[in-house]
Amino acid sequence: MSSTSQKHRSFIAEPMGDKPVTALSGIGEVLGRKLEEQGFDKAFVVLGQFLVLRKDGELFTDWLKDACGANNRQATSCYQCLKEWCDAFL
Amino acid sequence: MEAILSRLKELSDDKLRERIISTGLKCGPITATTRALFEKKLARTLLESKGGGGESSGASDAAWGSSGGTGGHSAPGDTPTDSATDKRRAAGEEGDFGYGVGLNPPEEEALSDNTGFRQSSSVDGDRLQTPSKAPQASPPLYYGVCPVWEDVTVRNDRVNVYADKKEALQAVKMMKGARFKAFANREDAEKFAKGICDYLPSPSKSLLCVSPGKPGMVFSKDVASSLEVETINRERANSYKSPRTQDLTAKLRKAVEKGDEATFTELVWSNPRYLIGSGDNPTVVQEGCRYNVMHVAAKENQPSIAQLLLDTLENPEFMRLMYPDDQEAMLQKRICYIVDLYLNTPDKAGFETPLHFACKFGCPEVVNVLCSHPYTDKNCKNKFDQKPVDLICERKNKTQEVKQKIKDYLEDRCYIPLLRATDNSSQPVIGAPWSPEPSDTVHHSFVSDLTQSPRDPVMAVRAFAGPLSPSKAEEFRKVWKTPPRERAGHFHHILKSDPDRGAERVGRDLAREMGHPWAEHWEFLGCFVDLSSAEGLRKLEEHLSKKDLSDRVQEAAGENETSNRFKTPSPGKPKKFCNSISVGAFLDEDDDISLEEMKNRQNAALTSISAVSAMDGLKGAVGGLECRILPMKLGADLIETAAEEDRQRQGKGLAAAGKNGFCSSVSGDQAQNGERPPPGTSGGLLSPVSNLLVEFERMSLRDGGENEPRRPERGRGAGPPRPREGGDSGAPPEPGPGPSRPPSSAREEPAFGKGGVETRDGGFWKAWEGSEADGEADDKSSSSSDEWVTADESLEPPSQGTLSAGASARGRCARSKSWDHGGRDLNSSGSSSSSYKSIENSQEDFIFSIPSNVKKGPFVEGESPTKLDRDVLLAIGDIEIDPQKYPSIHKWKNTINTHSSSEMQSWPSPVTSRGRPRIQTYTPASPSCTLLSTPGRFSPARPGIAPDITSPGRYSPAHASCIQRLRLWHINEPPV
C-alpha cells in the first residue's frame, strides 16, 4: 500500500507542528498550491477539515477531490496519513 | 438527484442538519467547506432510499421518518411496552445525539429534533414526543454501589442501589474507594452492592485505610484526585511536587526548543521532577508522541541543552535533590537508569530515539553529544526497522558535508592517549586507540598491561588526540609513533630537546596538520584542553587575568588580610578564583615548594611552631647555629641532620643578607627578593601548609589531582598551621625595620628551647605533632616523611647557591633565592603577619615595592618566565590573538615575544627541577590508585567533578574514569 511512502512515514512519525500542507502524503506541489489558495496552507488546517468531517474517509476524499482536484489515490493517501496521525496523536 | 440537490441548497444550515440527522446520517458542523459535501451525501442517501423517485416533499419527509428508524431510531408510534426496548432506544438515541452534535447536551438536541419533526410532519409530532421523553422518565438501569470491603461489614444495614445515576455517583463520592456498576435488574445490583458477587477488591484498597467516619469530609472532594494525592505522598521522599503537564509542555519544552539554558537550569534545579518522572522515568514533555526532553532537544537541534541535560542528570547533587535519603550506590544506579532512558527511549509515534531524531533532522552537534555518551545505543531500530545511520539527514539539511559529519560522529570514537609516568621517570608511551565504548574491535592490549608490577611507574594520560574514527585513530597513532620520514629529524629533535613536552608537541603539530581534535593536560589550568582552540584561549585568558588580578589585589590591599584572602574563600572573591590559583601553583611548582616547605617546616619545627612571630636576618643566623646544636645534642636521626644542614645553609645565607640588611639600600634589595613571589604566583601566595596538604592529597589521591585538593586547601588555608610556618619562613626576609627585631629575637630563645625539649621526647615529628592541637598534624607528619625524600634529592642545587651567596656576594644570594625559595619565604611572611602584628611594618615594606614588578606582566606561572611559558606559546601556535577578546593573553604574548628564542631556551623548566619523590610514596594497593592502575582506560583527570559543559571531549579519556565507574554500576545492575 501507499502507506509506506516516505512522506507518509515522516508525517505520522511526529507531531505535525506547523508543517505545510505539502507535508501530507498525496499532496504534492500542485495540489498544495491549490489548497493554499483556498486557505488550507498548513497541514493542520487540512486536519481541521478532516476532523470536521468526522474523520469520515468518504467525505474527506470527496472533499479533497473537489477542493484541489486530487485523484483517488492521492486523496486516499492523504486520508490514510491523517487518519494514522490521529490514531497516534489524538 | 439534481432536483433534490437544488432543493437542499435552499435550506438553511440548521435545516439541512436536521434533515441529515433525521435521515440517520451523522452530521458534522455545516460550514462553507462542508456544506456541499453534506448536501451531496444527503441527496445520494435520499435517492437510494427512494429508489430514484421524484416525489413530493411531504412523501420524502415521511420517508425520512421511516429511514430514521432503520438508522438507529426506534420506529415512532409504539408505546414502550418493555424496558429492554426502551433501553435500547435510549442508548441508540443518546449515542446518536452525543456524536452528532458534539458539545450540545442531548436533551436540547432531542427537543429541537422534536420541533423539527413537528414542523415537517405534523402527524408524527405528538407520537414522537413520548418515546424521546420516556427514557428519562423511567430509568431502566439500576446502579449498585459497592463500598470497600471494610465498609460493607460496618454498614450493611442499607443496600446501595440507586435508580438514578446521579444519586449513585453521589453515594460513590460519599464512600471513599467505593465502586458502582450498572445492572439491568435490581437483584444483580443489590448483590453487587452487598459485595456478594463479582467482588474484587478495589485496586486502591490496599493503599487506603479509610475509617468509616471519614466520608463526610471527603465528600466535597473528587475521589480520584484525593487518591492521587495520597499515593504521591506515599511515594515522595522529597518535598517537590510533580510539575503540571502544562508546565512540562509549555515551560520546559519551550525552553528546550529555544535552547534557553538559563530557564532550563532554573526550572530543573527548582524541581528535579521536571526531569525525573514517576518511577525514575523521563518526563514526557510532549503528549501524544511522548517525547522527553532529549527528544525535543535532538529534534530542535539544541546540542547545548542535550549536553546540559546529561550533565544535570549525571550530577549526583541533582539526584540527591530528588532522593535525599538514598545511598550513594543507589543514587548511582538511579543515575545510570535515567540517563540510559533519556538517551534511548523511543518515542511513541515512530519508535525513534533521540539519536534517530538528531540524524534525521541533520543535527551533527547533537549527534556528537549523544554519540559521545557511552550509553547511547546507536543501533536502535525504529518502527520501520531503520537504524539512526539509515536516516541521516532524511528530513533536513541534506547537504553532503553534514551527512558526512554525522556519519563520522556515529562511528566509534577513539582516542589516542599519550601516557607518561607521573614522575616522568620513563619514556612517554603513545597508547593504543581507546574508546569509551566496550567494543571488541578496540583492542584490549591495555588490559594486559594492567598487571604491572607495583614498582613500575604510574602512568597517566597527559594528552590525547580524538575523538577520531577507528581508522583515523590508527593512522594518527602510526604517524605519531613514527613520524613521516622527511620530518623525522625535526620531530626527533623536539623529542630529544624537550623531555617534558616533546611528545606532546609532536602530537600537537601532527594533530593540527591533520585537523584532528587535540587536548593536552595543562597543570596550571588543571584540565585537558587545546590551547589553540577558543576554549583553550578562554581558559588561558582566565588564568592570566586572574593572576593579573591577584597581583593587583595584592598591591591594592596593603593589609595583612591580603594573603589571607587568597587562602580563604572570602566574600570579596569568587571561590573559583582561589581554586585555580592554588591549583595552578601546586601543580606547577610543587617541587619548588616542597623544597621550600621542607625548609619552612624545619624552621617551624625547630623554632617551636606557635611561639615565634618573626625573625630577622640576625635571628636567622642565630637560629642556624642553634639548630645545628640541637640535633647534635639529641643525637637526632638523618632527617634532622638534613634539616639542620639546610637550616644552616639558610642561616648562613640569611646572615649574609642580614648583615647587609642594616644599610637601607640593601634592605630594599632584599625586599625585592622577597616581594617577587606575590605578583608571581599564586604559588607564592599559598601558605606552605596548604601546599603541603595539596601535595599530601595528591599522593593519596593521585588521579583526582586537580580536583580533590582544592577543598581541603581552601578550608584549611587559614587554619592554625599557616601562621606558624609562615612565621618562620617569613622571618628571613625581614630585613628592614629595626624595631621589630628585638622582641622577636628575644622571643626566639625560648622558642628554640621548647623545640629542643620536644624533640627530645620521641621522634622529631611526633613531637611536633604533639604540639599541634588540631588534626592537621596527621596530614603534615605523614606527608612530611615524603618530603624528606625530596629534601635529600633536591638539597644540592639550592644549597650550593645559598652557600656561595652566604660566602660571597649578596646579589648572588638574592638571585638564587628569589627564584627558588627566598621569595617564597618572604611571601609567606605575609600570611603570618595576619596573626602577628609585630611584623606589620616589614610587611608594608614589601607591599610598597611590589608595583615595580607588576609591570612585567603576568607569566603563566611564577614571577619570571619559565619553560612553561614557552610551551604555552608553542601550544598556542600562530593564532592571532585578539587584544580585545584576550587582553591578558595579548599582553603576555607580547611580553614573551620580547625575549629571544635563545633566551627562551634558557628559561628554567619548573618540571626538570622537580625531585619527583612522590612515586615512592605511592602505594599501588591503596584504594585511591585503583583507577590509576589501569592507565589506559582510566585516566587521571577528575573523577566526580562535573566537567565542562562545552567541552567536546567530555567522555574522552580525560573523564573516562567517571564514566567507567558509571558503567560498572550499570553492568552490575540486574537486567530489569
Looking at residue B823, the DSSP 8-state letter turns out to be H
Out of B522-526, B703-707, B790-794, the most confident range is: B522-526
Would you state the pLDDT for residue B799?
41
Q: How far is B41 from chain A (nearest CA, A)?
A: 8
Q: How far is B702 from chain A (nearest CA, A)?
A: 49
A49 reaches B (C-beta below 8 A): yes
Question: What is the rounded distance in angstroms from the CA atom of residue B711 to the CA atom of residue B541?
Answer: 24
Cβ contact (<8 Å) for A59 and B395?
A: no
Give the phi and the psi of residue A21 in degrees, each rounded to 5: -65, -25
- Helix (H) / strand (E) element for B255: namely helix B253-258
Does the complex come out with an ipTM higher than 0.90? Answer: no
A1 reaches B (C-beta below 8 A): no
Question: What is the rounded distance in angstroms from the CA atom of residue B389 to the CA atom of residue B407?
Answer: 7
The shortest CB-CB distance from B289 to any of A4, A9, A14 is to: A14
Structure-block grid coordinates of residue B426 = 620513563
Question: What is the rounded distance in angstroms from the CA atom of residue B571 to the CA atom of residue B199?
Answer: 68
Structure-block grid coordinates of residue B950 = 562545552
Q: Are B315 and B334 in contact (CB under 8 A)?
A: no
Cβ contact (<8 Å) for A63 and B40?
A: no
Give the domain A6-89 fold.
DNA polymerase; domain 1 (1.10.150)
Range name among B208-217, B330-339, B906-915 with the lowest pLDDT average: B208-217
| Among A52, A59, A60, residue whose Cα is nearest residue A81 | A60
Range name among B225-229, B290-294, B752-756 with the lowest pLDDT average: B752-756
Task: Kindly give the pairing relationship between strand B459-468 and strand B414-421.
Answer: antiparallel
Compute the 3-state secondary structure of chain B and give helix, strand, coil in percent, each to the nearest 5. 60, 5, 35
Give the phi and the psi of residue B804 in degrees, each rounded to 5: -60, -40
Q: Is B197 exposed, middle or buried (0-12, 13-18, 19+ CB in 10 A)?
A: exposed
Chain A residues touching residue B352 (CB < 8 angstroms): 13
What is the share, in percent, of chain B residues with pLDDT greater than 90?
7
Cβ contact (<8 Å) for A10 and B394?
A: yes
Q: B261-270 and B303-314 are packed helices; what angle lies between their axes, rounded to 10 degrees? A: 20
The pLDDT of residue B54 is above 50? no
Chain A residues touching residue B40 (CB < 8 angstroms): 62
Q: Which residue of A has its CA nearest to B295?
A: A14
A and B: number of Cβ contacts within 8 A: 59
Would you state the pLDDT for residue A42?
93
pLDDT in tens, B175-188: 777 777 888 888 88
Structure-block grid coordinates of residue A39 = 486557505
Question: What is the rounded distance in angstroms from the CA atom of residue B695 to the CA atom of residue B671?
Answer: 29
Chain A residues touching residue B288 (CB < 8 angstroms): 15, 88-90
Q: How far is B56 from chain A (nearest CA, A)?
A: 28
Task: Kindly give the pairing relationship between strand B429-430 and strand B179-183.
Answer: unpaired
DSSP code string of B527-575: EEE-TTSHHHHHHHHHHHHHHHHHHHHHHH--STHHHHHHHTT-TTS-H
The pLDDT of residue A76 is above 90? yes
pLDDT in tens, B37-51: 888 888 888 888 876
Q: Are B526 and B584 in contact (CB under 8 A)?
A: yes
Q: How confident is the model at residue B313 (pLDDT cuts 50, 70, 90)?
A: very high
Q: Which residue has the higher pLDDT, B484 or B757?
A: B484
Q: Are B899 and B862 in contact (CB under 8 A)?
A: no
Would you state the pLDDT for residue B341?
93
A86 reaches B (C-beta below 8 A): no
Would you state the pLDDT for residue B507?
84
Strand extents, DSSP E, B241-354:
none
Looking at residue B275, the DSSP 8-state letter turns out to be T
CA-to-CA dists, residue B406 to B21, B360, B363, B468, B962, angstroms: 57, 10, 8, 13, 26
Cβ contact (<8 Å) for B37 and A62?
A: yes
Q: Which residue of A has its CA nearest to B32?
A: A49
Would you state the pLDDT for residue B596?
54
Q: How far is B127 from chain A (nearest CA, A)?
A: 32
Cβ contact (<8 Å) for A62 and B40?
A: yes
Residues in chain B: 976
- The b-or-e profile of B401-421 (16+ CB within 10 A means b, else e) is ebbebbbbbbbbbbbbbbbbb
Spell out the domain ranges in chain A: 6-89
Q: Which residue of A has its CA nearest to B42?
A: A59
The shortest CB-CB distance from A15 to any of B38, B288, B352 is to: B288
Q: Which residue has the higher pLDDT, B865 or B606?
A: B865
Cβ contact (<8 Å) for B33 and A56?
A: no
Q: Are B659 and B620 in contact (CB under 8 A)?
A: no
What is the share, in percent, of chain A residues with pLDDT greater than 90?
69
Cβ contact (<8 Å) for A13 and B352?
A: yes
Q: Are B86 and B136 in contact (CB under 8 A)?
A: no
Would you state the pLDDT for residue B853?
43
CA-to-CA dists, residue A62 to A1, A87, B157, angstroms: 20, 21, 62
The pLDDT of residue B224 is above 70? no
A30 reaches B (C-beta below 8 A): no
B243: left (phi over 0), alpha (psi -120 to 50) or beta: beta
B124: left (phi over 0), alpha (psi -120 to 50) or beta: alpha
- Average per-residue pLDDT for chain B: 61
Cβ contact (<8 Å) for A12 and B350?
A: yes
What is the share, in percent, of chain A residues with pLDDT greater than 70?
97
- CB contact set of B262 (below 8 Å; sequence gap of 6+): none
* 3-state SS class at B291: strand
The pLDDT of residue B528 is above 70? yes
- CB contact set of B304 (below 8 Å; sequence gap of 6+): B259, B261, B949, B950
Asked whether the whole model's pTM tops 0.90, one would answer no
Looking at residue B881, the DSSP 8-state letter turns out to be P
| Domains of chain B as residue ranges with CATH | 1-48 (1.10.720), 142-194 (no CATH), 239-410 (1.25.40.20), 534-552+862-905 (no CATH)
Chain A residues touching residue B348 (CB < 8 angstroms): 88
| Among B422, B413, B320, residue whose Cα is nearest residue B368 | B413
The shortest CB-CB distance from B41 to any of A15, A59, A90 is to: A59
**Rounded mean pLDDT, B780-797:** 42
Question: What is the rounded distance in angstroms from the CA atom of residue A19 to the CA atom of residue B951?
Answer: 35
